Chains A and B, each alone.
Chain A
Amino acid sequence: MDSTADNLLMFKVRDGDVGKFSFLFERHHRALFNFFLRLTGNRDLSEDLVQEVFFRMLKYRHTFRADSQFSAWMYQVARNAYVDHFRKHKHEAVLSDGEEDDSTSEPSSPELTPEERLGKRQEACLVRQALARLSVDKREVLILSRYQGLKYEEIANILGCEVGTVKGRVFRAIRDLSEIFFQLSREGSGMSAAG
């Protein structure tokens, strides 16, 4: 994704051309939705949070500085929205365990056989389960680096910590996840195909 274009668009919005904000929505809403979905497992909540984030960015557009990067800023706002939400709704379940509606996933390539498609679904289900068992801190950095494509320096800025901390956390996250996959495969050896 061309970050220069994003920044330019945001500068225009900041300086009054509010209409151009829709371009930024089109470019980023899907990634943001998936960020929240991978973090929380809840589709409705994720959609709500996406709305919240875009409107906070619009409302506080004047805080977008000349040296800001749009996507890093967006994830910062996203994180704040997410934390605010969970402060208010502490008692709600944080992550549902992988009951995705796979009809909304990207359509798999038509070359796949039904068995292959089933295998993919199972694998995705497993990954979701594994992620759900990670701690929030680790899951968060993992999603930001692995899926949202943010550099470690950008993540460090967003979290307000050192780059070294981020790298360490990612390392431990992958390590834990590997262990979780191993455990899941042992648990699932007696299970049927449904994930």
Chain B
Amino acid sequence: MNCEQVKPQFADYLVRNLSEEANIEVQRHLTVCDPCRNELQILESTWTRLGTLPEQKPSPTMRARFYAALEAYQDQLQSTQAATKRRVTLTDWLDGWWPKRQAVQLATALLLFVVGLGMGRWLPPKDRSTEEMAHLRDELRDMRQLVTLSLLQQQSASERLKGVNWSYQIAQPDDRVVTALLETLNSDPNVNVRLGAVDALQQLAGHAGVRASLVQSLPRQESPIVQVALIDLLVELKEGRSAEVLRKLVHDNRLHKAVRARAETGLKQIS
């Protein structure tokens, strides 16, 4: 072994990490080579000297901080787990139970209906059977409402679109669904979902307060495509209360030209 080969071994030598043979080789070289032996001695003494640097103690606050933070983290963990469980349970249960494909959904609904009918036959008084059917229909409707509501809460825009589409299948949706759709129209982060909400609300224009809410929603919209769709809807409903809002839109220079044009024609059609 020559000097060039010995030097790379020094790092291992210092930490006593050399194999038997390598150790012997290195020692053999050191006996005959003064410069290498001197260098290694210096390196070893420096290495030893480093050991005089004592370990320091951290302040007592470090431990206190850690434990306080760990406790807070564990609390948070438990509460988010509980919340997720609740939400997941409902959606999962529905998702697991209610079939996904449109055709199968329809088949299932029909099946339930038929089962209901069948059940009706078994029950002697005729009133009871119609009552059963009505009850079953109500249950189906409640189920669909629950599905709609939970879908509208989902993270992905596609899921929320699904929720909007579901609302079409509810025969007589109650206020919760209407409110949820209006909420979606006003604050959903995705343009296409808000657009879908406009269409869905068209079916529900007969509900109390929907028209007024639609009028209120128009000035809050920022996306031109939603504005156009909403203007069209209000015009189609011949909602006179929207005239003032439309007038403001016509004169607002910041708006997309298509929106202002639509507002102008709409205004003419309402007045």
The answer to A–B direct touch (Cβ < 8 A) is yes
In contact, A33 and B8 (Cβ under 8 angstroms): no
* Interface status of A133 (Cβ within 8 A of chain B): no
In contact, B11 and A51 (Cβ under 8 angstroms): no
Give residues 32-81 of B contacting A (CB, 8 Å): 39, 42-43, 45-47, 49-59, 61-63, 65-67, 69-70, 73-74, 77
- Interface size (A, Cβ < 8 Å)? 46
Cα A171 to Cα B11 in complex, Å, equals: 5
Query: Nearest Cβ in chain A — how far from B61, in angstroms?
Result: 7
Q: Which residue of B lies closest to A119 (CB)?
A: B52
Cα A127 to Cα B56 in complex, Å, equals: 14
Cα A97 to Cα B244 in complex, Å, equals: 73
Q: Mark A118-134, 1 if CB is under 8 A from B, else 0.
A: 00100110011001000
In contact, A43 and B59 (Cβ under 8 angstroms): yes
In contact, A174 and B62 (Cβ under 8 angstroms): no
Residue in B8, B10, B62, B77 whose beta carbon sits within 8 Å of that of A51 in the complex: B62
* Interface status of A12 (Cβ within 8 A of chain B): no
Query: Nearest Cβ in chain B — how far from A126, in angstroms?
Result: 8
Cα A145 to Cα B57 in complex, Å, equals: 20
In contact, A50 and B7 (Cβ under 8 angstroms): no
Cα A85 to Cα B241 in complex, Å, equals: 58
In contact, B54 and A106 (Cβ under 8 angstroms): yes
Query: Nearest Cβ in chain A — how far from B42, in angstroms?
Result: 5
Given the contacts A146-B50, A174-B43, A104 and B8 also touching, CB distance less than 8 Å? no
Q: Mark B1-36, 1 if CB is under 8 A from A, else 0.
A: 000000110111011010000000000000000000
Contacts of A30 in B (CB 8 A): 55, 57-58
In contact, B69 and A55 (Cβ under 8 angstroms): yes
Contacts of A142 in B (CB 8 A): 50
Most buried by A among B17, B52, B58: B58
Cα A21 to Cα B10 in complex, Å, equals: 38
Residue in B53, B63, B73 whose beta carbon sits within 8 Å of that of A29 in the complex: B63
Contacts of A145 in B (CB 8 A): 15
Query: Nearest Cβ in chain A — how far from B253, in angstroms?
Result: 43
In contact, A146 and B47 (Cβ under 8 angstroms): yes
In contact, A124 and B50 (Cβ under 8 angstroms): no
Q: Which residue of A lies closest to B9 (CB)?
A: A167
Query: Nearest Cβ in chain A — how far from B146, in angstroms?
Result: 31
Contacts of B74 in A (CB 8 A): 18-19
Cα A106 to Cα B39 in complex, Å, equals: 32
In contact, B58 and A105 (Cβ under 8 angstroms): no
* Interface status of A70 (Cβ within 8 A of chain B): no
Most buried by A among B11, B42, B57, B65: B11
Most buried by A among B43, B51, B62: B62
Cα A174 to Cα B11 in complex, Å, equals: 9
Cα A145 to Cα B61 in complex, Å, equals: 28
Give residues 61-106 of A contacting B (CB, 8 Å): 100, 104-106
* Interface status of A34 (Cβ within 8 A of chain B): yes
Q: Which residue of A lies closest to B67 (CB)?
A: A22
Cα A33 to Cα B268 in complex, Å, equals: 75
Give residues 137-157 of B contacting A (CB, 8 Å): none
Give residues 8-34 of A contacting B (CB, 8 Å): 18-19, 21-22, 25, 29-30, 33-34
Given the contacts A47-B59, A124-B53, A146-B47, A167 and B77 also touching, CB distance less than 8 Å? no
In contact, A51 and B66 (Cβ under 8 angstroms): yes
Contacts of B43 in A (CB 8 A): 171, 174-175, 178
Given the contacts A167-B8, A171-B8, A174-B14, A105 and B77 also touching, CB distance less than 8 Å? no
A-side residues, CB < 8 A to B, are 18-19, 21-22, 25, 29-30, 33-34, 37-38, 43, 46-47, 50-51, 54-55, 58, 100, 104-106, 120, 123-124, 127-128, 131, 142, 145-147, 151-152, 164, 166-168, 170-171, 174-175, 177-178, 181
Can you name 7 extra interface pairs (CB under 8 A) apart from A51-B66, A174-B14, A178-B43? Answer: A58-B73, A104-B59, A106-B57, A151-B17, A167-B11, A174-B46, A177-B46
